[in-house]
Amino acid sequence: MEPLRALLQSPRRVVVIPHQKPDADALGSSLGLANWLRKGGHTVNVVSPTDYPRFLNWLPGHDALVTVYQPRHNHAEVAGWFTKADLIFCLDFNDLKRCEPLNGLVERSKAKRVLIDHHEAKQDFAHFEYWRVSAAATAELIFEFIGLMGGASQVDGPIAECLYAGIMTDTGSFKYPATSSRVHRIVAHLLDIGIDHTTIHRRIYDTNSEDRLKLLGFALNNRLKVLPEYRTAYFALSKTDLFQFNYQVGDTEGLVNYALSVEGVVLAALFKEEEDHVKISFRSVGDFSVNELSRAEFNGGGHKNAAGGKLPTSLTTAVDKFLSLLPHYQPQIEQAALMPPAQ
Ligand code: 5GP
Ligand code: MN
């Protein structure tokens, strides 16, 4: 980190990117870091590979700082930022596939790449890495990183709000096993800065559209499948299902957790039909690794208990593939059911 600290002593051109369909951790980390870098006199552009949920569009710095990359509309401008950048920060992902369609711009840029992340199975593409799988959130690592760069005293309200949003969501509101005492100490520090955590919570979790709630009701009533013999529950949502409820990005965030909450369930999945592929979210409890499952079978990855992937198939083919794998994974699922959740 020392050479990086030295680099940041003079004003640099910086690009910050979260992963595709950024969640509160990816976007909160990106904006928290960008807000801090700007205080240091750096020129910063945050570029999101794709659109993101509306319930995140209040994050401090969001208006001025996030550009959603749209190849047909702003390619030249965004490409220029990458070409001229001294540093590119890749936040909350560790495989360049996760920032498509920006990966080519990252690869071609002469900028030094900085990776800050907490996912498993890191790829080697960065010049500087701050990577810890045991971290509960990338936002936790951003807080530490700012400290390592000598900027702890510059963390102000807006930066603290961004980081709190990332930590709060990635810890499942402080309940997942990775929520260490260290996380609580960081959060205590953020609260001391004076953030309004109740409002942040409400903005992220309690600002549903009527359509979103109806989609939830529909999914629970008509699409939840429970397979007690495999301790598995899943949803499959077609394009038509989503269209019926005027689907907006983020509307299915958290849905998979309802499947996981069914008593006795160890493995949960959500299959969502998108334009030319099926996006899958996996969740598990205990020692069953959905990271390994999604890496081995669904072109994805993530964490042990929360991962995702994609298949370039129809919705039925994707679900059939999942169902056909269950007998193979059954012993591991049963094993996980016997053990207390990992610490
Ligand atoms: P979610 O199901 O909430 O979209 O994602 C759960 C976790 O898995 C997140 O940490 C996310 O970054 C990761 N993840 C989701 N989709 C993919 C994917 O296609 N590839 C990889 N490598 N990770 C993913
Ligand atoms: Mn994260």
Does the structure show a pLDDT above 70 at 342? no
Distance CA 233, CA 169 (A): 22
Mean pLDDT of 293-320: 97
Ligand 1 mean position to 164 CA, how many Å?
A: 20
Q: Is 71 exposed, middle or buried (0-12, 13-18, 19+ CB in 10 A)?
A: exposed
170 Cα nearest atom in ligand 1: 10
| Listed residue (238, 227, 225, 166) closest to 195, CA to CA | 166
Q: Would the pLDDT of 27 be above 90?
A: yes
CA-derived radius of gyration, the chain: 20
pLDDT at 315 > cutoff 70: yes
Say which range, 4-13, 75-84, 254-263, 331-340, has the weakest mean pLDDT: 331-340
Q: What are the C-alpha distances in Å from 91 to residues 138, 216, 263?
A: 7, 30, 35
Ligand 1 pocket, 300 CB below 6 A? yes
pLDDT tier at 149, thresholds 50, 70, 90: very high
Q: What is the pLDDT of residues 51-86, one digit of tens each?
A: 999 999 999 998 878 899 999 999 999 999 999 999
Q: How confident is the model at residue 257 (pLDDT cuts 50, 70, 90)?
A: very high
Buried b (16+ CB within 10 A) or exposed e, 46-68: bbbbbebbebbeebbbbeebbee
Decide if pLDDT at 318 tops 90. yes
> Does residue 136 contact residue 176 with C-beta atoms inside 8 Å?
yes
Q: How many CB atoms lie within 10 A of CB 102?
A: 25
Taking 80 as the threshold, does the pLDDT of residue 341 lie above it? no
pTM for this one? Answer: 0.95
Q: Quick check: 260 and 280 in contact, CB under 8 A?
A: no
Mean residue pLDDT across the chain = 96
Q: What percent of the chain has pLDDT over 70?
A: 99
- The per-residue pLDDT for 206 is 95
Going from the C-alpha of 214 to that of each of 50, 52, 186, 281, 317, the distances in angstroms are 25, 20, 37, 20, 27
Q: Is pLDDT above 50 for 210?
A: yes
Cα–Cα dist 94/175, whole Å: 24
Name which residue sits closest to atom 14 of ligand 1, judged by CA: 308
Which listed ligand is nearest to 22 at the C-alpha?
1
Contact (CB, 8 A) for 110 and 84: no
* Spatial separation of the C-alpha atoms in residues 228 and 263, rounded to whole Å: 9
For residue 5, what are the CA distances in angstroms to 1, 44, 84, 107, 114? 6, 17, 20, 23, 12
CB 280 within 8 A of CB 318: yes
* Pocket flag, ligand 1, residue 114 (CB < 6 Å): no
Fill in the amino acid letter for 192.
Answer: D
Q: What is the pLDDT of residues 220-250, one digit of tens each?
A: 999 999 999 999 999 999 999 999 999 999 9
Distance CA 185, CA 260 (A): 29
pLDDT grade for 340, boundaries at 50, 70 and 90: low
* Cβ pair 187, 167 in contact under 8 A: yes
H helices of 157-302, in order, are 157-170, 181-193, 197-205, 210-218, 239-244, 255-260, 290-297
* Separation of alpha carbons 134 and 13, rounded Å: 31
Residue 343 pLDDT greater than 60, yes or no: no
What pLDDT does residue 66 have?
87
CA distance 338 to 343: 15
Which of 138, 52, 51, 49 shows the shortest CA–CA distance to 99? Answer: 49
For residue 330, which phi and psi values (nearest 5 degrees)? Answer: -50, -45
**pLDDT tens digits for range 95-128:** 999 999 999 999 999 999 999 999 999 999 999 9
Calculate how far, in angstroms, residue 169's C-alpha sits from the geometric centre of ligand 1. 14
Q: Which of 283, 294, 295 best tests ligand 1's pocket when mutated (most atoms within 8 Å of CB)?
A: 294
**Structural domains in the chain plus CATH codes:** 2-205 (3.90.1640.10), 210-338 (3.10.310.30)
- CB-ligand 1 contact for 281 (6 Å cutoff): yes
